[in-house]
Structure 1
Amino acid sequence: MTEHEKNLARAEARHDLHTSRVMSLWDSTIQFSLEALRIAAIVNGGAVVAGIAFVGAVYNTKATLAESLMLPIMAFAAAAASVGVAAGFAYFSQFSFTAAASNYEYTWEHPFVSDTCKSKVWQWIGNALQIVSILTVSAAYAALIYGCHLVYGAVMAARVAPA
């Protein structure tokens, strides 16, 4: 086998390795993203449903408590909505990473796979959207914690308030 043939074999192997790594990362990233979004959506959606059910149950007997629970329910609903927005950002970040990977240049000389201007731009966009998605999910958890704090305050205030 000549040196040229060896180099071609190494290049093809590197191209195949790059493609398989990209596909593997794509699959695992999607699964982790879906789980993170799913958990946040379930927790916040459950908090909204439980809050509305509780307000409905106590409204006739403790209207003040029911009214003071509306702000926490709105915080939970905002958190649930932000999870949906985060899902959109996560989708577009993955789209950008895929576009970056499909715009790499395959060469027949070392390093065999090289960045291009397009791949760098798509990578940057993907990174930016990924950060926005992470911050949006973090905001959802912050709204959940804030809503729980408000619920605690409302329940404690109702407990010490004269009947």
Structure 2
Amino acid sequence: MEYNEGESANVVGWKLNHEAALIQHNRHSATSGILLESVFSFGLEAIRTTAILNGGAVIAVFAFLGALYGKDGSAIELARELLPAAFTFAVGALLAGVASGFAYFAQFLYSGAHDDVKLTWEHPYCDNPPSQDRRLRWGIFWHVLCVCAVLASYGCIILGLIGAWAALKG
């Protein structure tokens, strides 16, 4: 913004305040975008990892069970012992899908909370209305559910591996 000699102190003050507001508005937009993108990408990778691990384990166990089909009685007994592990892996894969739904809700609410910010021309230049607090609280709720579902999915991997190992060992 240009400043001319002879402008009143009020005009110069207004211009300085306007520039400060524009800087704050741009900073708000840039940092929020970067933070939301990084949180989303890390969460997505965690969900993908657990979905691939559990889904691959389910396929491997069912392929092994298919190879045992039609064998003698001990093979059928082994197949029965492996079924709980296969079920555990399937539950883990389902939890990964549920976690992605929870992540969608959290991201939707976080984005809405970001959009609720009122950009003003007076200090502090960004006003947080009550609707933003409500959206943030619900976003955190869905976020926590997503993290719990991902952790439970990883737990299913561990339990399924222990169950498969016990069935093959015994």
Question: Could you say which residue in structure 1 is the equivalent of 2:88?
Answer: 75
Does residue 17 in structure 1 map to residue 32 in structure 2? no
Question: Could you say which residue in structure 2 is the equivalent of 1:161?
Answer: none
The count of corresponding residues between Structure 1 and Structure 2 is: 157
Structure 2 unaligned blocks of 5 or more: 4-11
Q: CA deviation at 1:114?
A: 2.0
Aligned equivalents of 1:22 and 1:141: distance in 2? Answer: 30
Q: CA deviation at 1:106?
A: 1.2
TM-score using structure 2 length: 0.89
Aligned equivalents of 2:126 and 2:140: distance in 1? Answer: 20
Question: Could you say which residue in structure 1 is the equivalent of 2:9?
Answer: none
Structure 1 unaligned blocks of 5 or more: 158-163
Q: CA deviation at 1:26?
A: 2.2
TM-score using structure 1 length: 0.92
Q: Supply the AA of the counterpart residue of 1:142.
A: G
1:94-109 aligned within 5 A: 94-109=107-122
Aligned equivalents of 2:24 and 2:47: distance in 1? Answer: 34
Aligned equivalents of 1:78 and 1:54: distance in 2? Answer: 19
Aligned equivalents of 1:42 and 1:93: distance in 2? Answer: 22
The percentage of counterpart residues that share the same residue type is 34
- Of 101, 106, 124, the residue aligned with 1:111 is 124
Let me know the Cα RMSD of the aligned residues. 1.1
Give the match's secondary structure for 1:122.
helix
Question: Could you say which residue in structure 2 is the equivalent of 1:37?
Answer: 47
